Structure 1
Amino acid sequence: MKLVFDHIDFTIVGHLQGLMEAEGIKTEIRNLGGSSAAGELPFTQVYPEIWVLNNGDEARAKAIVKDYRSAADAERPGPDWTCPVCKELVEGVFSECWNCGAPAP
């Protein structure tokens, strides 16, 4: 077994596991409930982890992780913007004003 990925966000770990399983790579997630030990252990030791069961699948699994990260980097949010209606500053990840609901310009 080989560790191929860990992350604080289980949704990302679960998504990557699904991508790997869809490619026929058998995996196991460890530290699924590890967050309950946070504080007792360093937080980096309780991150959910993806392990491949067959060592020969390690390179393919890491390629899936690399492709996922590249795609995520390409989808970075736009710049922060000012609402044209209420003049509130809105972070670029939002397509609507959090204050009044107006769409981004």
Structure 2
Amino acid sequence: MRMRLVFDNIDFTIVGHMASLLESEGIACEIRNAGASGLAGEIPHTLVYPELWVLDKIDEERAREIIRVYRDKDASAPVVADWTCPKCGEIVEGVFAECWNCGAGAPS
């Protein structure tokens, strides 16, 4: 049983999401460097990226495939156009179904 690095990213939330995906598939994993961003500038920034490690090397290939499939699917998702709130006129990013300003729903 030897740990293997399977993913890293500057954004901890992305690494955390990948960890959740692996855990939901029964793959034990660990995030390292979660709090290391404070060292940025003192050492090369790539050395403080949060890292996702699988605890058993036997899970490495499967974990990499789960991450690859998810990221490919995420990258190919259609971009939803921004919309104008019919109630207050605020411009709202297309990913949101409600206006952040007044709570009105997106137009159909």
Please confirm whether the aligned pair reaches a TM-score higher than 0.5, indicating the same fold: yes
The structure 1 segments of at least 4 consecutive aligned residues displaced by more than 6 Å after TM superposition are none
Kindly state the Cα deviation for residue 102 of structure 1 after the two structures are TM-superposed.
1.6
One-letter code of the match for 2:86? P
RMSD: 2.3
> Please, which of 5, 25, 35 is the counterpart of residue 7 of structure 2?
5
One-letter code of the match for 2:19? Q
CA deviation profile, 1:28-84 (whole Å, cap 9, x unmatched):
321121112122223332111012233332210101101222343355551111111
> Please, which of 47, 60, 63 is the counterpart of residue 61 of structure 1?
63
* TM-score normalised by structure 1 residue count: 0.77
2:53 matched residue in structure 1: 51
Structure 1: where are the runs of 5+ without partners? none
Aligned length: 105
SS of the residue corresponding to residue 6 of structure 2 reads strand
1:78 matched residue in structure 2: 80
* TM-score normalised by structure 2 residue count: 0.75
